[in-house]
Amino acid sequence: MSTPNTHFGAEEIGRILKECKSIYFIGIGGINMSSLAHISLKRGYITGGSDRTPSALTAKLESCGIRINYSHDAANIHGYDAVVYTVAISPDNPEYTEALRLGIPCISRADFLGYVMTGYGRRIGVSGMHGKSTCTSMCAATFIGAGVSPTVLSGAELDVMGGAYTVGEGEDFIFEACEYMDSFLDFNPTVAIILNIEMDHVDYFHSIEQIHSSFAKYASLTGEDGFAVANIDDKNVILSLSDYKGRLVSFGITSENAHFRAVNITETRGKYSFDILKKGKLFCNVKLSVTGYHNVYNALACAVAADICGISPEDISRGLASFGGAKRRMEYKGKLGGAELYDDYGHHPTEVHTTLRGAKGLAEGRLICLFQPHTYSRTKALLEEFSSAFEYADKVLLADIYAARETDDGSVSSRILAEKIGEKATYCGDIRSAAEALRAELRDGDVALVMGAGDIWKVFDIL
């Protein structure tokens, strides 16, 4: 069970933190929490936190002088003036409950992020069920390349930022707006990008209508003077924006009435080139350095946001061409057994199918996918969709489901998913067994894609 978001709002959080000198982060090792911890340290707060296990992110935090505890103990928060927590923690987390007992203010990650961003004039929030981290990273590369010095908080690390965040000196704040637990409703976007909408996070969202309502509320946060940047090819996005009062700027490929549209699309080994039209007139040409048809949509969204913020078509074209991908988004890891290996965060059936479609163009031999399902609830609710998501893979290896915040009730498993996929799928068990199964499978000319949002990346350490 997750811990609810707070909804103090930026003004109240400012009042809470006015007399605070120290902040403690519960779940500090998360990609976004670690970024917020760095920002807090830079703002002069004594900063500490806790997480379950050491990682490269926690090592980076410690190298900056941030104290981290690798256990959740009530005594850890003593001496701190405020607590920021991720909703992934349990409500009975000892640090969280001790903070409540002592009357130490507790602020959820999303609420705290909403406060942090209010100091910036232009706030670009990237939302959608898929592609948020990639599109946020594209925007980061484009804005940085244009010399506007943005502040960026992403869900993935990017070389040009040296991590998952950067603190700039300009007016632009680019951030990933996650819909889980309605976290994005605590944000304050002036430009709300909506890439796509479909059923996901079934442990929180119980219907597509509930999701429509959440995204409608998110878009409305821009106010009448703000912008919604919307994928007009996605019917769920359009339904969510039916009552939007701000300025709607649409993008798409198939919709001829999109304000920004990709045309003359060509593909070479999974990478796409195309022209962008703005209101029917040539805006710029784009040649992507990352694979996948879905990245045409991500690039369009980035181009619209950059145009709104005054970046030239020439800088947009250069920025998109320079983007080589974010960490764990079709990240090239090297060769093994004559095969090319890639790492990807995809964990929803649509992401799996779309990413494999793009990767197919890279393979001279077979396309092999090692997949770790993420959460029992998602796997169970979308089992039929998962069973057909591996259409482009020649061989599928399945590791055990990554539980995350859930417990196993025995109703679904990776073995069951393997049976649903059919003969080309093999259930492997734990990560070490999956790594060895992959090693045994690889041949010259193969492309192997390791996918999942859990700890499946450990396969590469084993190999």
pLDDT, tens only, 138-174: 999 999 999 999 999 998 888 888 888 898 999 999 9
Lowest model confidence (mean pLDDT) among 82-86, 210-214, 316-320, 352-356:
352-356
pTM (predicted TM-score): 0.81
> What pLDDT is attached to residue 241?
97
Identify any residues that bridge with 228 across adjacent strands, giving them in sequence order: 192, 248
Q: How far is CA 31 from the centre of its chain?
A: 10
Fold of 331-462: Protein-Tyrosine Phosphatase; Chain A (3.90.190)
Q: How many CB atoms lie within 10 A of CB 253?
A: 18
| Average pLDDT in the chain | 94
Instruction: Assign domain 120-322 to its CATH architecture.
Output: 3-Layer(aba) Sandwich (3.40)
Q: How far apart are the C-alpha atoms of 362 and 339, rounded to whole Å? A: 11
Comma-separated ranges of CATH 3.40.1190.10 domains in the chain: 120-322
Q: How far apart are the C-alpha atoms of 213 and 77, rounded to whole Å? A: 37
**Which pair of tokens denotes residue 393?**
């893979």
pLDDT 10s digits, 1-18: 578 889 999 999 999 999
Q: Kindly tell me if the per-residue pLDDT of 384 is higher than 80.
A: yes
**Which pair of tokens denotes residue 258?**
């999109």
Comma-separated ranges of CATH 3.40.50.720 domains in the chain: 10-113
Residue for token pair 């805006």: 283
* Contact criterion met (CB below 8 Å) for 37 and 216: no
Comma-separated ranges of CATH 3.90.190.20 domains in the chain: 331-462
pLDDT 10s digits, 187-245: 999 999 999 999 888 788 899 999 999 999 999 999 999 999 999 999 999 999 999 99
> What pLDDT is attached to residue 1?
56
The answer to whether domain 10-113 has CATH 3.20.20.70 is no
Identify any residues that bridge with 151 across adjacent strands, giving them in sequence order: 173
> What pLDDT is attached to residue 368?
97
| Residues whose CB falls within 8 Å of the CB of residue 157, separated by 6 or more in sequence, listed in order | 31, 163, 164, 326, 327
**What does residue 406 show for φ and ψ, rounded to 5 degrees?**
-115, 170
**Which pair of tokens denotes residue 92?**
């009975």
Q: In 76-131, where does DSSP find H-type helix?
A: 94-102, 109-116
Q: Kindly tell me if the per-residue pLDDT of 439 is higher than 70.
A: yes
pLDDT 10s digits, 266-313: 999 889 999 999 999 999 999 999 988 999 999 999 999 999 999 999
Q: How far apart are the C-alpha atoms of 237 and 253, rounded to whole Å? A: 15
> What pLDDT is attached to residue 394?
96
| Residues whose CB falls within 8 Å of the CB of residue 225, separated by 6 or more in sequence, listed in order | 190, 246, 247
> Strands (DSSP E) along 355-403, which ranges?
367-371, 395-399
* Nearest alpha-carbon partner for 327 in 160, 113, 150, 139: 160
DSSP string, 412-446: --HHHHHHHH-TTEEEEESHHHHHHHHHHH--TT-
pLDDT 10s digits, 240-264: 999 999 999 999 999 999 999 999 9
Q: Kindly tell me if the per-residue pLDDT of 462 is higher than 60.
A: yes
Look at strands 281-291 and 331-336 and give their pairing: unpaired
> Helix and strand tally (H, E) in the chain?
16, 21
